[in-house]
Structure 1
């Protein structure tokens, strides 16, 4: 089976989305910003040729280049053998795609970009988090988690249907990071549905146990 490369830093939530799909389907892959023995600078000329907005991840598959995580994971599932992570029915496939895009464009944004990145890469005086920004964005992060909990209750333990799908792959890295936040910035408790979902996925899916860890690389 042809090996693919995920151009991404190891801690990127979206990079880990692509990694989860590779692990779940047992696709051989490598991951990092070194490609064919050469470092490809973030937002450098080559990166911008792959992704016009300089985002991660980018998938390199032979001579093919693909950006945007939702497109990447759909391609990986369609192109490679292993468990199918999308339904065959056109309507159900479209509804799954709808959920994947909601997770990528809104839920990840509320949890990661608007909330957690202020803690990881603070922009306040002398490198401190801007507490006003965190408090302002916290309600949207909690609303995003409430929507995920609603889906979990409707779907019976997964985020789409009765088994692991692209929706779970898209959601889990962001949700895992949410479970790692400590007081006073915590968004979930150990008895909430999101926390229990993440822990169950780590316990039952080797792909999740490998990818959903504090640090990689």
Structure 2
């Protein structure tokens, strides 16, 4: 069926997670924008044929087209040989789904939507940073990181010493927070187990292979 094509912009934490899935699984992939040049193009007819809600990522693999990061992760895990991205133990697999849902419903909204994105978008739109939105998000970010910090107590990753899909979704959010938001390093330092998860990823090739270009320039 050929190489997996991941479609989106590398700055997206969700696109980065999809890339990490492939890197950790040992799956060949390419990252393309499928003709998109700016964020508004995600709502264009060409991209809507791949992702009907106009978001990223989507993937193409032969005749298969999929959207939504968790579905992409399960596809990569089930369709290719390599290290399991979903825990083998049924209970741990359910817990993984629990943490992914928490990241989708809570962590992403506070960390990314109300903080990181508020710093990134003005660089493209020229509009001022929405300081009120960021300030209001800080208590929620602190609370949400504390939940994951407790879950990681005594572990490198959420299910032991190997990263799984939920770890691979969490890390890009934490990395973006530290890299983009001035408040990020202090917030993550308050959650040392979360900081440890990020540090553990920094020792893995998948981290370095998927760093967004904007982050490389910031460094």
Into which bin does the TM-score normalised by the smaller protein fall?
0.7 to 0.9
Structure 1 equivalent of residue 94 of structure 2: 94
Distance 1:182 1:90 in 2: 37
Q: Is the 8 A contact 1:70 1:101 kept in 2?
A: no
- Per the TM alignment, residue 191 of structure 1 is displaced from its structure 2 partner at its CA by 8.2
TM-score (normalizing by structure 2): 0.86
Q: Is the 8 A contact 2:58 2:66 kept in 1?
A: yes
Structure 1 equivalent of residue 52 of structure 2: 52
Structure 2 equivalent of residue 208 of structure 1: 207
Indicate whether 1:143 and 2:134 are aligned.
Answer: no
TM-score (normalizing by structure 1): 0.86
Q: Is the 8 A contact 1:11 1:215 kept in 2?
A: no
**Count, aligned residues:** 209
Distance 2:166 2:52 in 1: 25
SS in 2 for 1:180: helix
Q: Structure 1: which 5+ residue stretches go unaligned?
A: none
Q: What is the CA RMSD across the aligned residues, in angstroms?
A: 2.4
- Per the TM alignment, residue 201 of structure 1 is displaced from its structure 2 partner at its CA by 1.6
Distance 1:164 1:185 in 2: 22
Structure 2 equivalent of residue 170 of structure 1: 169
Equivalences for 1:147-162 in 2 at 5 Å?
147-153=147-153, 156-162=155-161
Q: Of Structure 1 and Structure 2, which has the larger fraction of its residues in helix? A: 2
Distance 1:47 1:198 in 2: 32
Q: Is the 8 A contact 1:5 1:29 kept in 2?
A: yes
Q: Is the 8 A contact 1:25 1:82 kept in 2?
A: yes
Q: Structure 2: which 5+ residue stretches go unaligned?
A: none
Q: Alpha-carbon deviations, 1:18-54, whole Å to 9, x = none?
A: 00010011111001213xxxx1542211211222210
Q: 1:171 to 1:182 in 2, by over 3 A?
A: closer
